[in-house]
């Protein structure tokens, strides 16, 4: 079964490449979105501190 899998991967080069590119772009998108959301929370905390409201 493993031999058949590797043979299929080697024969379907374009299909394998497209799937790998789709997976990598999805992972990169999730990492970037997570960093962006984290930065928004940091900026909100800093804005709250600098507006003197954080001292209540």
Q: Where are the domains of the chain?
A: 2-55
pLDDT in tens, 6-50: 898 889 999 999 999 999 999 999 999 999 999 999 999 888 888
Count Cα neighbours of 51 within 13 Å in the Cβ-side half-sphere: 8
pLDDT grade, residue 5 (50/70/90)? confident
Which one has a higher pLDDT value, 35 or 55?
Answer: 35
pLDDT grade, residue 54 (50/70/90)? low
pLDDT at residue number 56: 60
Q: What is the CA radius of gyration of the chain?
A: 22
- Element holding 11 (H helix, E strand): helix 2-11
pLDDT at residue number 26: 98
């Amino acid at each position: 079964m493993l031999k058949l899998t590797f043979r299929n991967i080697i024969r379907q080069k374009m299909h394998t490449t497209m799937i790998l590119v789709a997976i990598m772009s999805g992972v990169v998108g999730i990492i970037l979105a997570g960093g962006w959301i984290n930065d928004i929370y940091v900026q909100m905390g800093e804005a709250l501190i600098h507006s003197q409201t954080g001292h209540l």
